[in-house]
Amino acid sequence: KEDILNHMKFRHPENVSTALKSCTYQDIILENEFIEIVTITQNKSFQKPLSGGEFKPKHCLALIKTALIVPYRNRTSQLAIFINYMHFFLQKQNIHYRIFVANQNDTLPFNRAKMLNYGASLAMKLNYDCLVLHDVDLLPINVGNIYGCAKLPRHMSCNLDTFRYNLPYLSIFGGAISISTKQFKMVNGMSNSFYGWGGEDDDFYRRVNTSGLKPCRFDPEVNRYIMLSHKKQDANKNRFLLMKLAVRESENDGLNSLLHHWSIKLEDLYTYITVS
Ligand code: NGS
């Protein structure tokens, strides 16, 4: 577990003039505490986040500043469970974080990667240096799974109940991943071309891998997740063709080809980006 700390990227605190000491992470990882969905929300130490769903620990200076980005459309009850749970979970980690929900407001098939690009663009403008790209139906259950960036992009949700705690294939890179903003920019984010289920995460794996950023994973014990049940989306029939075409298109299809048709609303528990 100490290896995990060696792989984490820590930033210098923004405000060194305060008397606060830097937050520590070692105890959290080594404690290896499993939490249950029911008990976590009874935690009395919960602090109301700042408007837009931002939180900074009060007793120490966070060395990790993370934007948690959730691609979203029309799953109200899952969003409520996720947001409530994640604030309790993340506040146990001594990190500075903010939750962004990127909502696709049209009738086209869902474009998960494009929503993640929008969330990441806003997070970059607000100087978040670590991105966690996260599906709304996944809940981490071990607080030792620090929501920060490692030196390499990290596949976080590698130990998932619905996969019977196995990896379906080695290069799977969906669900929940972390990547530094610098690395995300370097690969031009994700492709905007994948409408419907499947393939966009495999294409993203290819982008990072071919840029020399081979993704890593941590100890499965600390990377346990449960998935909330939902109806499966329709698969994108063109995904294999798109994956082939995407190899040539990565430089022009991604962060640099987003049209900024969005609006931003600060909700109490998250920042809501509506993409039309
Ligand atoms: C692969 C998909 C990925 C998807 C993964 C797990 O087959 O996009 O399954 O999906 N790749 C292609 O279709 C090319 S899951 O069971 O979590 O819905 O992430």
Mean per-residue pLDDT, 21-32: 83
Q: Which contacts of 76-84 are long-range, i.e. CB under 8 A and separated by 24 or more positions?
A: 78/136, 78/137, 78/228, 78/230, 79/136, 81/139, 81/228, 82/136, 82/137, 82/139, 82/228, 83/53, 83/269, 83/270, 84/41, 84/269
Q: How far is the CA of 21 from the centre of ligand 1 (A)?
A: 43
Rounded CA-CA distance 42/225 in Å is 20
Percent of the chain past pLDDT 70, that is, above it, reads 93
Q: What is the pLDDT of residue 231?
A: 79
Q: Which residue's C-alpha comes closest to atom 8 of ligand 1?
A: 198
Average pLDDT in the chain: 91
Instruction: Establish whether this prediction's ipTM goes over 0.85.
Output: yes
Q: What is the pLDDT of residue 247?
A: 87
Mean per-residue pLDDT, 122-145: 96
- What are the tens digits of pLDDT across the range 134-187? 999 999 999 999 999 999 999 999 999 888 888 999 999 999 999 999 999 999
State the pLDDT confidence band at 32, using cuts at 50, 70 and 90. Answer: low
Provide the Cα torsion 1, 180, 71, 168; round to 10°. -50
Closest approach atom of ligand 1 to CA 174? 19
Q: Which residue's C-alpha comes closest to atom 14 of ligand 1?
A: 199
Q: How far is the CA of 95 from the centre of ligand 1 (A)?
A: 30
To the nearest 10 degrees (0 to 180), the angle between helices 200-210 and 112-125 is 50
Closest approach atom of ligand 1 to CA 236? 13
Say whether pLDDT at 237 is over 60. Answer: yes
Rounded CA-CA distance 233/222 in Å is 29
Say whether pLDDT at 267 is over 80. Answer: yes
Mean per-residue pLDDT, 242-269: 93
State the pLDDT confidence band at 15, using cuts at 50, 70 and 90. Answer: low
Rounded CA-CA distance 39/212 in Å is 41
Say whether pLDDT at 45 is over 80. Answer: no
Q: How far is the CA of 71 from the centre of ligand 1 (A)?
A: 16
Weakest mean pLDDT among 23-32, 163-172, 216-225: 23-32
Instruction: Verify whether ligand 1 is closer than 6 Å to residue 199 (CB atom).
Output: yes
3-state helix, strand, coil in the chain (%, to 5): 30, 20, 50
Q: What is the pLDDT of residue 18?
A: 67
Instruction: Verify whether ligand 1 is closer than 6 Å to residue 201 (CB atom).
Output: yes
Instruction: Verify whether ligand 1 is closer than 6 Å to residue 202 (CB atom).
Output: yes
Q: How far is the CA of 32 from the centre of ligand 1 (A)?
A: 29
Q: How far is the CA of 12 from the centre of ligand 1 (A)?
A: 37
Q: How far is the CA of 235 from the centre of ligand 1 (A)?
A: 9
Tell me the HSE value of 126 on the side-chain side, using a 13 A CA sphere: 22
Backbone angles phi, psi at 64, to 5 degrees: -120, 130
Q: What is the pLDDT of residue 27?
A: 84
